[in-house]
Structure 1
Amino acid sequence: MSRHEKKSSEAEPSALEQRSVDLVTRLLKVGIDGLGPFDSAAEVARAARAEHPSTESAVHAVVRQHSRLVAGNGFVTGLGGLLTLPVALPANVFGFHVLAVRAVAAIAELRGYDTTKPEVRSAVLLTLIGADATDVLKSAGLPTGGRLVALVTSRVPRPVLMLVNKGVGFRLVAKFGARGLLRLPQRALPVVGGAVGAGADTVMFRRITKNAEHALPPLTAGAAQAVQGPA
């Protein structure tokens, strides 16, 4: 291998790493904290709680609301077909995951989790990658299991959480590429691409929220105190 090739191969992982870190940073900032007119997850949770009598009915309302938003995002970004695909596909993928993060974080808030806590924010990210979350937790040396309560009720060192977030970012960046290639033939057709985008995004979103509802159950009093920390 030449010196130039060696330098290039060494630069690729760091570029991917930076993309992964940038992605999760943006998802957390916009999806959980909100940006401009885009309400934060806590605000979404408060609005749902004000309109619905029980926690679970509020959770279902958040899922329904964001399902409509996800479908609309997928439809609009797929309308232009091949001509707009280079711009529309990245916008669609990022928009989808921002909405997914906000929905999951709102569910977490409704069930007693504090989404300002770094452990809870990492748990929200982990729900985006399904079964891959086990591998990410294992590689960070954290307990694995079907639920994330063990993570959010622990005091995890910040470098470990950064490793978790980076692991999620790696998988999402890889998934972005694969997802775009799989849907490319259908999305290349104007209008048809919109319908394909809306349908596929809604199915994927429902899968994520169902995973989140299982992985982040309502906190018990003891678990809630552990998450909030000592008074």
Structure 2
Amino acid sequence: MSEKEKKTVIAQEDVMKILDSCYEKCLNGILKVSPSVEEMANDYLKKYKTKEEACKAMIRNQITKCATSGFITGFGGFITMPVTLPANITSVIYVQMRMIACTSYMAGFDLNSDQTQTLVYACLAGVAVNNVMKQASIKFGVKFANGLIKKIPGKVLTKINQKVGFRFITKFGTKGVVNLGKLIPGVGAVIGGGLDLVETKIIAKRSYKWFFEHDFSVNKKDNEEEIEVYESDYEEVPKE
């Protein structure tokens, strides 16, 4: 591989670095560009009677803004990434992740927990985690709830994150790398200065379904990829 080719590929570990960098910026906000997720969420929560109404309004507004010419380009160049990516791609990832994180925060999830962070990544990538939830429910004998999320052990989170990394890469159809000379399908291609609305609407619907309705069932239409989880993956979780 030539030096030029090396500069146009990205490996799975680089994908995770990008996601981690975006997530940190979602939590803390970016000076003169965007407020933190918590600030954005609380602004909506003050304006609506229920958190469900506030979340749906936030999602609608984010999708509308993304369709407006210049919205995404307004984010371009502001994110310093550990891996060099075209500004439009990093901006799209950030905007979509921010929408998911805001949804989870409004639903009462702890954005500082590893478990919530992993679910936000899975939601963005379209990696279905229903098997994880089913196994956990069987293990603990309770209906899925936010508290149960915190009991998902590290080895399961690692498995989900690995699938997320590969998901971003395999969507492009290469062996372990993403060609940066092209936009990443499914992550959000910038078309005419706007966002891929179809993909963003799918992500928005998935985030509400997961975090507000606690429904992690697979929707084959959205091309979600399931994760296989085994009983041994829960060995480190203490019994109740």
What TM-score range do you get, normalising by the shorter chain? 0.5 to 0.7
1:22 and 2:17 matched: yes
Deviation for aligned residue 1:57 = 1.4
Letter in 2 for 1:203: V
1:203 and 2:198 matched: yes
> Which residue in the other structure is 1:128 paired with?
124
> Which residue in the other structure is 1:31 paired with?
26
**Contact conserved, 1:31 with 1:98, CA < 8 A, in 2?**
yes
Distance 1:151 1:166 in 2: 24
**Contact conserved, 2:38 with 2:105, CA < 8 A, in 1?**
yes
**Contact conserved, 2:29 with 2:36, CA < 8 A, in 1?**
yes
Letter in 2 for 1:115: L
> Which residue in the other structure is 2:92 paired with?
96
1:65 and 2:61 matched: yes
2:46 to 44, 50, 62: 50
Letter in 2 for 1:17: Q
1:216 and 2:211 matched: yes
User: How many corresponding residue pairs?
Assistant: 179
Greater fraction of residues in helix: 1
**Contact conserved, 1:74 with 1:201, CA < 8 A, in 2?**
no
Deviation for aligned residue 1:212 = 0.9
> Which residue in the other structure is 1:180 paired with?
183
Q: TM-score, normalised by structure 2?
A: 0.60
**Contact conserved, 2:109 with 2:146, CA < 8 A, in 1?**
no
Q: In 2 relative to 1, CA 201–23 (structure 1 residues): closer, same or farther, beyond 3 Å?
A: same
Letter in 2 for 1:24: L
1:157 and 2:160 matched: no
> Which residue in the other structure is 2:140 paired with?
none
Distance 1:174 1:105 in 2: 24
1:105 to 91, 101, 106: 101
Q: Aligned-residue CA RMSD in angstroms? A: 3.7
Q: Deviations over 1:158-180 (max 9, x none)?
A: 45424423431332244465872
Deviation for aligned residue 1:182 = 7.0
**Contact conserved, 1:32 with 1:42, CA < 8 A, in 2?**
yes
Q: Which has the larger radius of gyration?
A: 1
Structure 1: gaps of 5 or more residues: 6-10, 78-88, 188-192, 220-231
